[in-house]
Amino acid sequence: MNDLFPEAPDMTESPLAAPPAYLSLMQSVSHELRSTFGVISGLHSLLPLASGEAEREDMFNRLHNNTEYAVQLFTDLEDYCAMETGPMRVEPTSFRLAGAFENVRKKMRTMLQRRNTTVLLSGDSELLVTCDEEKIRRVLKNIIFHLACMVRTQAIEIGWEKHATTWTITIAYSGDALPGWLFMPGEEPGEQNMGRNISLLMVHRLMSLLNGEIYGGTDDGRQWISLQFPQ
C-alpha cells in the first residue's frame, strides 16, 4: 500500500451532496499552511536585504511567529487525524491544577513575550483534581495560543476553583469574542476559515471527551470563558 498516494475515494454516487466536514477542514488547514509557508519563504528571501539590526531582528521575530503557527497547525491536525481514526483514551490521574497551569505558562513564555501577552494565574495552589492532566494542559495551551496569536489580546487571566460537584477554570481577556459554536455541544461547525480555528476545534473535542462543558460571555467589557468539569 502506498501511504503517500492512496487511491481516490469514489465520489460519483452523490455529486450534488455537500462535502463532509473533514474535507472542508483539511482544505482550510492546507490553505493556512500554504499561506504561512509563503510568508516564511518571502521573509527568507528578504533577510539578506535587511538594512539594519532592528529590521533583521523584526524579520526573525516574524519568521519565528509564522514557524510557531505552522507547528501548531501540524500538531492540531495530527490530533484531529488521530481522533478520526480511532477513539482517544482518557487517562485520569490526581494532580495540582496550579502546577499544570504553571508548566503550560512556562513552556509558552517565549512566545508570549514576543507577542507582548501576559498570563496571570490565580487560584488555590494546592487544589487537587482528578482528570486527564495532559488533555487539560492541551485545552489550556490551545486557548492561550488562540487568544495570543489570533485575538492578539495582551493580558489573559486564568483562575480555578472547586465546587460541590464540579471544578471550574475561568479565563478572562479583552478582545473579540470566540466563535459561538465553541460553546455549543454536539455537531461541529463547517466554517470556511476552520483552518484558523483548528486549535479551538480541538478544545471543543477535548472538552467533550473529558465530559466537560464550556461557557462564554462578557462582563464589564471583558470576555470570559468558563470550563466546567465533573468531580
pLDDT digits (tens, 9 = 90+) for 202-224: 999 999 999 999 999 999 889 99
CB 136 within 8 A of CB 100: yes
pTM of the prediction?
0.85
CB 179 within 8 A of CB 191: yes
Report helix angle 133-146 to 97-107, nearest 10. Answer: 50
pLDDT band at 1 (very low <50, low <70, confident <90, very high): very low
CB 158 within 8 A of CB 119: yes
Amino acid identity at 125: S
List residues bridging with 168 in a β-sheet.
161, 228
Q: pLDDT tens, 13-42?
A: 455 555 667 777 788 888 888 988 899 999
pLDDT at position 19: 61
Cα 214 to Cα 185: distance, rounded to the nearest angstrom: 9
Share of the chain above pLDDT 70, in %: 88
Question: Could you tell me the three cell numbers for 181?
Answer: 459554536
Cα 131 to Cα 36: distance, rounded to the nearest angstrom: 35
Cα 189 to Cα 176: distance, rounded to the nearest angstrom: 19
**42-46, 129-133, 155-159, 190-194: which has the minimum mean pLDDT?**
190-194
Report helix angle 53-85 to 133-146, nearest 10. Answer: 140
